[in-house]
Amino acid sequence: MKKQTIDTKPAGPKPWYDPRVRSIFFQIVAIALVFWGGWTLVDNTLANMESRGISTGFGFLEETAGFGIIMSLIPYDATMSYGRTFWVGLTNTLLVSAMGIVAATILGFIIGVARLSSNWLVAKVSLVYIEVIRNIPLLLQIFFWYFAVLGALPSPRQSIDVGGTMFLNNRGLYVPEPLTQDGFGLVWGAILVAIAAVVGIRIWAKKRQVATGQIFPTFKVGVAILVLLPALAYFAAGGPLQWEFPELKGFNFRGGITIIPELAALWLALSLYTASFIAEIVRSGILSVSKGQTEASKALGLPNGLTLRLVVIPQAMRVIIPPLTSQYLNLAKNSSLATAIGYPDLVAVFMGTTLNQTGQAVEVVAITMAVYLTISLSISLFMNIYNRAVAIKER
């Protein structure tokens, strides 16, 4: 007789008790619920719109808009389509956001450094600015600049004359407009070559400093190249640039470039408000750097300016960049408050006037949300790339 063998190996764990299996299962369930909820929402919305006789789709973007816009970076008039109003609003939003980010960054860094100044007056003035500006609602600051400051300027006939070429009144700032002529392409080419040359010199100077320890005056040489090369191209092309100066005709100025008060008020409020938060971020980043680093640089004889620029700030950036990214995102989204004073941004032009005239609420709101999401993700992507580029790398 054959002996029966008994398998004494312990039974393996059941799949349900495997953490990986449960993890995958719950993720699949969660994704399925999200898709089901989204489909239910879309289906109910379409059914309700159909029952009320509301048309759907994006065909309305090709219809004539029939309304004017006070400011446009691209050609636009009332005979153009609603799709054109979208691009007008988008470019205006990107303009004020970009201007605000640049101004808030510069001002925030200056105030953040001044906050740590050994000069008592400078430090206290910076503290007062931060505490006052960041504790007043942004909307109130926009109203202050628009109604109390810019709205109090004189009328066009009593404009503030700046050198006979620029005029400031309650309808905006009027400045000369440069008009390029034939041959100006040579100047643009020189500008691009100058930028490429500066980038190349900076890379070369950095490698040279690592190899030899010698510092090359990159900033001075870069500025000289950026100024002299386009200037030589300009004169070589025969000065292909003319200026159109604003002139008072009737009740308002004609010609030149007009910076409307809505843009100025929104830009000032966004920049000053965001700069107060950036200043505290910069201060905390600087304080995160060990004092031993500063003491070591002083022992080597470095002046305070070079110590801050070459030793402290590069190490502080790893602390500064993540919250700085959040402030950039807040500024871009806060620009939607422009509708309160009539600045023609995406919300005011597209989600305001266009939505009211077409009644395509779902499509317009969805497009607007997608645009702000794209802007935010783009800012985050750029800042993450920059963060990796400036991160301290261990040898």
**53-70 tens-digit pLDDT:** 667 778 888 999 989 999
For residue 18, the model assigns a pLDDT of 75
Mean per-residue pLDDT for 245-274? 90
Distance, CA of 106 to CA of 191 (rounded, Å): 24
Please determine, for residue 234, whether its predicted confidence score (pLDDT) is greater than 70. yes
* Average of per-residue pLDDT values in the chain: 88
pLDDT higher for 308 or 11? 308
Q: Write down the pTM of the prediction.
A: 0.84
pLDDT at 5: 55
pLDDT at 75 over 60: yes
Answer whether residue 373 shows pLDDT above 90.
Answer: yes
Q: What is the mean pLDDT of residues 103-123?
A: 93
In this prediction, residue 164 carries a pLDDT of 83
Specify the range with the lowest mean pLDDT, choosing from 4-8, 173-177, 268-272, 305-309: 4-8
Query: What average pLDDT does the segment 5-33 reach?
Result: 73
**Helix (H), strand (E), coil (C) string for the chain:** CCCCCCCCCCCCCCHHHCHHHHHHHHHHHHHHHHHHHHHHHHHHHHHHHHHCCCCCCCHHHHCECCCCCCCCCCCCCCCCEHHHHHHHHHHHHHHHHHHHHHHHHHHHHHHHHHHCCCCHHHHHHHHHHHHHHCCCCHHHHHHHHHHHHHCCCCCHHHCEEECCCEEEECCEEEECEEEECCCCHHHHHHHHHHHHHHHHHHHHHHHHHHHHCCCCCHHHHHHHHHHHHHHHHHHHCCCCEEEECCEEECCEEECCEEECHHHHHHHHHHHHHHHHHHHHHHHHHHHCCCHHHHHHHHHCCCCHHHHHHHHHHHHHHHHHHHHHHHHHHHHHHHHHHHHHCCCCCHHHHHHHHHHHHHCCHHHHHHHHHHHHHHHHHHHHHHHHHHHHHHCCCCC
Q: What is the structure's pLDDT at 331?
A: 95
Closest CA to 127 of 243, 276, 298: 276
- Least-confidence region, from 9-18, 30-39, 105-114, 363-372: 9-18
Which pLDDT score, from 0 to 100, does residue 330 have? 95
Query: How far, in Å, CA of 264 to CA of 144, rounded?
Result: 12
Q: Where residue 123 falls among pLDDT bands split at 50, 70, 90?
A: very high
Alpha-carbon span 110 to 95, nearest angstrom: 23
Q: Is the pLDDT of residue 392 over 70?
A: no
395 confidence band (pLDDT: 50, 70, 90): low
Q: What is the pLDDT of residue 306?
A: 80
Contacts of 77 (CB under 8 A, 6+ apart): 68
User: Per-residue pLDDT tens for 152-167?
Assistant: 999 888 888 888 888 9
Confidence of residue 216 (pLDDT cuts 50, 70, 90): confident
Q: Do residues 112 and 323 make contact, with C-beta atoms less than 8 angstroms apart?
A: no
What pLDDT is attached to residue 367?
Answer: 92
The pLDDT of residue 293: 83
Report angle CA 19, 23, 25 to the nearest 5 degrees.
120
Give the whole-angstrom CA distance, residue 260 versus residue 171. 6
